[in-house]
Structure 1
Amino acid sequence: MKKVHKAINRYSKLQYLVIIFTIAILGLNALPNWFGEKAALHVQSNSTEMPNIDSATLFNLLTKQGIQVDSINQQQGQNIVLLDNKTQQQKARNLLATQLGEQYSVAMAMESDSPDWLKNIGAKPIKLGLDLRGGVQFVMDVDTQAAMVERKAQIEQDLSQLIRQFNARGTRITSKHNGEIVLRYPENSAQKAALSVQALVELYPELLLRVNTAQQTTLRENEQFAKTFHQALMQQNIKTMRDRIEALGITEAVVQRQGDHFIRIELPGVQDPSQARRIIGATASLDFHQLQQQGGALYKSNSGEMVRLNPSPIMSGTHITDAQSRFGETGQPEVAITLDSAGGKLMSDFTKNHIGKPMATLFSEYQQNEQGLREKNSKVISVATIQAHLGSRFTISGMGSVKATQELAMLLKAGSLTAPVTIVEERTLGPSLGQQNIDNGMAAIALGLSMMLIFMALWYRKLGLIANVALIFNLVCLMGLLSLVPGAVLTLPGIAGLVLTIGMAVDTNVLIFERIKDELKRGKSTALAIHHGYQNALGTILDANITSLITALILFSVGYGPIKGFAITLGLGILTSMFTGIYVSRALVNIFIHKLPGQVATKNPKTTRQNKRTAITSKQTTQQAQL
């Protein structure tokens, strides 16, 4: 019975189609990188009642100030202005924001310069990091401890009000450095003091109650809450930072946590960091207080007079959902405020019972003193008499200048920071230096790639040419994958990862080709040598690449900024190098080398041992020369 042998060095049609389809999709996504990007501005109306401004008006406004405009297109209800010069983007944005006012939003962005048919299918170029595009980087230190101190002070204030409410006379409150709050009360007020503490625990469930004696009670927060509170503060500050950056008109900023109490902010394309520094680093908050004749807290007003306020605010700025600067009926700048439902109810409940009485607006912010320590400065910016029953919409004034009013409106709209922040690092990178980094990086890639192509072609000949084709496919696939993966950003260390990927991709082919040479030395035919060479090298290739992939994942999970950019490029490069080195090169070998003569080994029983060794040696020399 004739034995049927399984065909080797053959891929099915489906396998070839999958390889071709993968390369085609990734190549299509890599294509926009050839055309690059242009600096752009997105201009749209903030209200449905206001029509979008026409392209001719935008063109005239910009060209009169010497700003070179490439084109203006309308897409999805907004005007997209493409600029010829990236360095004029910030100037153009400030100009349009001033000329158009708050009725229109002007955001800076980068738009692909690729043909329309590529844009229509959603293909976009790789996002460039700060070191390649230019811009500003801030590292912010979040003082969560200050927020904890403020919260403790608020707890003590609420406890004092409850003690007065339940008429627990003689009760004293003592605050300790370890965070504990101690209540001491006479025996005849013990029951009322206990009711006050019980009401406080209902307001703050995280408080732990310990009754030491019949006349003393200790309150403290559980340890788990401190960790949870710290995490919540960091997340809320990150969200507020992102909202403020959007208000500045920057669409491609990177805001991420760095370490335990730092926030890293990258603003690509921003060349004037002064406004960004003021808005991002501001810790402004707004509270509304009732005036009182005696007691309370004293604050200085804009006029220099001292104003006595009730320590408990009527409402805080956390309830503000929208704020717009405008000019009032008297011609003075003011901020129109919109509250959420809870804030509207608080304001409504207070004002309906206090018509004809004054209400103060307290503005607070953290600043550094001469010793470098943070301190909270508060001032009363306005004292107005309540003329009518207010709801969720009203106005405040008293900030003085138009610029101060606009910045206050922006801060209130984006939200107040729950913990004060300090800029501990600031770095500005110009667009020309970013372009120089790109040029140097591309030169390094071109040099490394050309040397690898020459070496592989000279050392492995035909197999080397196949490896070179697979190597080019590897770069194309990697560029396409970087363009396709959400959140992937190419940085200067990422370019180093590209160069490293070239070497790792060659390593895969070197391992396979050396195994093939070893199989040929054992006297196997070309077909069997190729088959066993790929088969035997697969385990080693997987081991090496998986360990490298684990390293890339660790760098991505614990790294920040450039380190994370390097990890992304390295990890994706490992995946594409395995794909092209194992599958693409094997497909090319199957197509172009499996038909070489001498692939089937035959046995001649009449051949002597010496002749057999001579024949094998001759065949090995011929096969290696053919490869």
Structure 2
Amino acid sequence: MNSPKKKPYRYITWQNLLILFTLLFLLISALPNLYGDRVTIQLSPINSSVQQLTTYQLKDLLAKHSLSVDKIHSLNQTTSITLSNKTDLKSINELLFVEFNNDYNIENSVISNSPLWLQSLDAKPIKLGLDLSGGVLFVLEVDTKQALLERFKNIALAIKTLAMEERIRGVNVVQSKLGLSIENYQQNLLVSFPNVEKSKIDLLFNKIKAAYPELSQQKNQNNQVTLSYSSQKTAQYRQETMQQTLKTMRGRIAELGITEAVTLQQGKNYIRIELPGVHDPDEAKRIIGATASLDFYQLAENSTAAGILRMADEHGRAFNLNSQVVFSGSNIKNARAGQDQMSMPLVNLTLDAIGGKKMSQFSKQNIGNTMVTVFSEFYRSADDKMVKKSKIINVATIQQHLGSQFSITHMPSQQAAQELSLLLRAGSLTAPVTIVKQRTIEATLGENNIKNGIKALSIGMGFTLVFMAFWYRALGLIANVALTLNLMSLLGLMSLLPGAVLTLPGIAGLVLTVGMAVDTNVLIFERIKEELKRGHKVLSAVEQGYKSAFSTILDANITTMITGIILYTIGNGPVKGFALILCLGILTSMFTGVFVSKSLTNLVIRKNKAQLLGVNV
């Protein structure tokens, strides 16, 4: 039996309050997308002796080069240049760097134009991908073979040192490799030793096992043992190397101040890095593509360890170094560029607990001796071979017992000190990386992509709104309100998710979401029409229409969601962007198309009418 009228209290239920609260929350989250950003360039003197720049100087300089900015102002020894057009950012930065780099620190920052109350809520707009904001794409190749080779080379030196400590003469360690492909590439160490007391040999290999438990030992002859990684351990080491490289790259990108970057593994040995909003690819390439490591050595004449490394500094002085490092860049916890009392550039280092302990023990035993700092990096030669280039950047005499904090002095310039400190803060790479692909997208192209994408979305949504209002009349207007709320909810949800990035295919996903949201309402309205034709009253037909259509809508959206999850898992770059919008759009379409639409329908239709959807009842 149909009641002629629903009681008013049914429309103010906790479900409707929850829906209203959710919509308001998503609306506030989407508001920052209505406001743009402005870029600020700050110039601050390196020291107090440098005279502060005036606004007139900067205006004249920029005007001579036909560069326009919005505002220039000075406050507390810092001069700020504000511009809304990011396309001129690179040209202005290059000009300021040439003119003032020796006397001023130049830093860029992005400030939101949103109201203060919105900023106080920490609401942020959607992060734009590379194809919408412009920027740089890098694809890096990680040489895990070379990393494994260096690992076994260090193990071989450690074994020789252990043999010297146990006073076993004649121990020979030969490094060999098996397999040529990345999957089958393995390293072996062939350890041969003379006929000496068995107890000494057993003690040596027990120490090797304790220091390197991951190595398997296989006795070939009476005086020969092969040390190697199993296939599983090799694969594990390769994967750990990739993860460490990914972590280091993300650290370097964070040091560059880029928060919207996408860094992910691509295949077995490649890393894809997208840097939206970066308009100086040379700086990014110099930092990201550098396979930098820092090692601290002692002179060979002050050491009893095995292996000699012969190097010369920039002045041509030759040094014989112990091949085993005292400690490496992996023990560096923090690094900051600075100046000494004579205003000469230096790098202040802070070591972790392990590095601090090593430095304390070493410096205590070597007061008055020399410690040499070596900077190393890998690069590909003309014949596509990986070459390691090392140079001595510091030679210092240990004057006192040092701890976890000390400095690298005699840096060639302030810029070199800043770059070295950035690399060390982000971490050293255990595997060489080379840039195999680089692509730059200009900011103007990104702006055109945004305009064209919004135009396509507006046209598609406009036709949809007109069709729904014309075909379904009152319920069509309800569907149009739900569709608008769906788009707003999707933008708000994307703004909330820290890893969500909107790309050009993502805008295509937004257009597709509009179609899916309308499809939900079409299914419901057609079911309502069927119930009306069966003789049900309006209120009963609406209730049954929503109830019977829900299972069909749920099944269709679950199958689409599975496809979206697969695309997001195996895809990269633009494919991920499209898949993310698709999956989030399914959630918001279900929310607005079913629950919000039903609440609005119940609010509008409170009694049985004579006609609905063209059917007389």
| TM-score bracket for this pair, using the shorter chain length | 0.7 to 0.9
User: Which residue is 2:237 aligned to?
Assistant: 229
Q: Equivalents in 2 of 1:20, 1:536: separation in Å?
A: 24
User: Which residue is 2:182 aligned to?
Assistant: none
Paired residues of 2:134 and 2:443 also in contact (CA < 8 A): yes
Paired residues of 2:27 and 2:488 also in contact (CA < 8 A): yes
Question: 1:36-185, aligned counterparts within 5 Å?
Answer: 36-40=36-40, 63=59, 65-66=61-62, 68-69=69-70, 83-90=83-90, 106-109=107-110, 111-178=111-178, 179-185=187-193
Q: Equivalents in 1 of 2:541, 2:81: separation in Å?
A: 60
User: Which residue is 1:548 aligned to?
Assistant: 560
User: Which residue is 2:184 aligned to?
Assistant: none
User: What number of residue pairs does the alignment pair up?
Assistant: 593
Q: Equivalents in 1 of 2:7, 2:555: separation in Å?
A: 23
1:488 CA displacement: 1.6
User: Which residue is 2:486 aligned to?
Assistant: 474
1:94 CA displacement: 7.0
Change (3 A) 1:212 1:491: same
Task: For 1:117, give the aligned amino acid.
Answer: W
Deviation readout 1:9-61 (Å, 9 max, x if unpaired): 99541133222222222122222222233334689999xxx99xxxx979778
Change (3 A) 1:306 1:114: same
Change (3 A) 1:30 1:408: closer
Change (3 A) 1:122 1:340: closer
Change (3 A) 1:323 1:525: closer
Pick from 549, 560, 565 the counterpart of residue 572 of structure 2.
Answer: 560
Establish whether residue 13 from structure 1 lines up as the match of residue 21 from structure 2: no
Percent identity at matched positions? 46
Paired residues of 1:526 and 1:623 also in contact (CA < 8 A): no
Paired residues of 2:137 and 2:274 also in contact (CA < 8 A): yes
User: Which residue is 1:575 aligned to?
Assistant: 587
Deviation readout 1:121-172 (Å, 9 max, x if unpaired): 3332212112111111212122122111100111111111112222223333
Q: Equivalents in 1 of 2:482, 2:527: separation in Å?
A: 18
Q: Equivalents in 2 of 1:73, 1:478: separation in Å?
A: 41
Task: For 1:588, give the aligned amino acid.
Answer: L
Task: For 1:292, give the aligned amino acid.
Answer: A
Deviation readout 1:56-78 (Å, 9 max, x if unpaired): 9797786565362459899xxx9
Paired residues of 1:108 and 1:250 also in contact (CA < 8 A): no
Paired residues of 2:2 and 2:540 also in contact (CA < 8 A): no
Establish whether residue 207 from structure 1 lines up as the match of residue 219 from structure 2: no
1:185 CA displacement: 2.8
Q: Which moved more, 1:331-340 or 1:505-514?
A: 331-340
Q: Equivalents in 1 of 2:44, 2:614: separation in Å?
A: 67
SS of equivalent residue, structure 2 residue 444: helix
Question: 1:295-334, aligned counterparts within 5 Å?
Answer: 296-328=308-340, 333-334=345-346
Establish whether residue 489 from structure 1 lines up as the match of residue 501 from structure 2: yes
Q: Equivalents in 2 of 1:7, 1:426: separation in Å?
A: 67
Paired residues of 1:598 and 1:623 also in contact (CA < 8 A): no
Change (3 A) 1:247 1:592: closer
Deviation readout 1:192-238 (Å, 9 max, x if unpaired): 22221111111111112233443222222234332332333223222
Using structure 2 for the length normalisation, give the TM-score.
0.86
Establish whether residue 266 from structure 1 lines up as the match of residue 274 from structure 2: yes
Change (3 A) 1:573 1:123: same
Task: For 2:364, give the aligned amino acid.
Answer: K
User: Which residue is 2:549 aligned to?
Assistant: 537
1:103 CA displacement: 10
Question: 1:388-427, aligned counterparts within 5 Å?
Answer: 388-397=400-409, 400-427=412-439
Question: 1:352-391, aligned counterparts within 5 Å?
Answer: 352-391=364-403
User: Which residue is 1:429 aligned to?
Assistant: 441
Q: Equivalents in 2 of 1:547, 1:72: separation in Å?
A: 56
Task: For 1:150, give the aligned amino acid.
Answer: E
Unaligned runs of 5+ in 2: 63-67, 179-186
1:402 CA displacement: 4.4
Paired residues of 1:71 and 1:83 also in contact (CA < 8 A): no
Q: Which moved more, 1:248-257 or 1:561-570?
A: 248-257
Q: Equivalents in 2 of 1:480, 1:71: separation in Å?
A: 34
Pick from 448, 451, 454 the counterpart of residue 460 of structure 2.
Answer: 448
Change (3 A) 1:330 1:479: closer
1:416 CA displacement: 1.1
Q: Equivalents in 2 of 1:26, 1:295: separation in Å?
A: 64
1:361 CA displacement: 2.2
Task: For 2:456, give the aligned amino acid.
Answer: A
Q: Which has the larger radius of gyration?
A: 1
Pick from 279, 286, 299 the counterpart of residue 294 of structure 2.
Answer: 286
Paired residues of 1:327 and 1:333 also in contact (CA < 8 A): yes
Establish whether residue 198 from structure 1 lines up as the match of residue 198 from structure 2: no
Unaligned runs of 5+ in 1: 600-621
Change (3 A) 1:353 1:484: closer
Task: For 1:365, give the aligned amino acid.
Answer: E
Change (3 A) 1:306 1:122: closer
Task: For 1:106, give the aligned amino acid.
Answer: E
User: Which residue is 1:241 aligned to?
Assistant: 249
User: Which residue is 2:477 aligned to?
Assistant: 465
1:108 CA displacement: 3.3
User: Which residue is 1:216 aligned to?
Assistant: 224
Paired residues of 2:143 and 2:433 also in contact (CA < 8 A): yes
Change (3 A) 1:100 1:120: farther
SS of equivalent residue, structure 2 residue 325: coil
Change (3 A) 1:322 1:470: closer
Task: For 1:149, give the aligned amino acid.
Answer: L
1:95 CA displacement: 7.8
Deviation readout 1:268-301 (Å, 9 max, x if unpaired): 2211110110111111212222223697122233
SS of equivalent residue, structure 1 residue 168: coil
Q: Equivalents in 1 of 2:458, 2:160: separation in Å?
A: 72
Q: Which moved more, 1:383-392 or 1:199-208?
A: 383-392
1:370 CA displacement: 0.5
Q: Equivalents in 2 of 1:116, 1:325: separation in Å?
A: 34
Change (3 A) 1:97 1:322: farther
Superposition CA RMSD, Å = 3.5
Change (3 A) 1:623 1:392: closer
User: Which residue is 1:624 aligned to?
Assistant: 614
Paired residues of 1:89 and 1:108 also in contact (CA < 8 A): no
1:503 CA displacement: 0.5
Task: For 2:247, give the aligned amino acid.
Answer: K
Q: Equivalents in 2 of 1:135, 1:318: separation in Å?
A: 30
Paired residues of 2:72 and 2:79 also in contact (CA < 8 A): no
Change (3 A) 1:349 1:623: closer
Q: Which moved more, 1:199-208 or 1:383-392?
A: 383-392
Question: 1:583-602, aligned counterparts within 5 Å?
Answer: 583-598=595-610
SS of equivalent residue, structure 1 residue 352: helix
Deviation readout 1:480-533 (Å, 9 max, x if unpaired): 211222322211111011000011011111111222222233333333332222
Change (3 A) 1:170 1:350: same
Change (3 A) 1:58 1:279: farther
Q: Equivalents in 2 of 1:100, 1:171: separation in Å?
A: 55
Paired residues of 1:171 and 1:193 also in contact (CA < 8 A): no
User: Which residue is 1:518 aligned to?
Assistant: 530
1:575 CA displacement: 1.0
Task: For 1:13, give the aligned amino acid.
Answer: I
Task: For 1:515, give the aligned amino acid.
Answer: R
Q: Equivalents in 1 of 2:192, 2:92: separation in Å?
A: 64
Task: For 1:624, give the aligned amino acid.
Answer: G
Q: Which moved more, 1:148-157 or 1:507-516?
A: 507-516
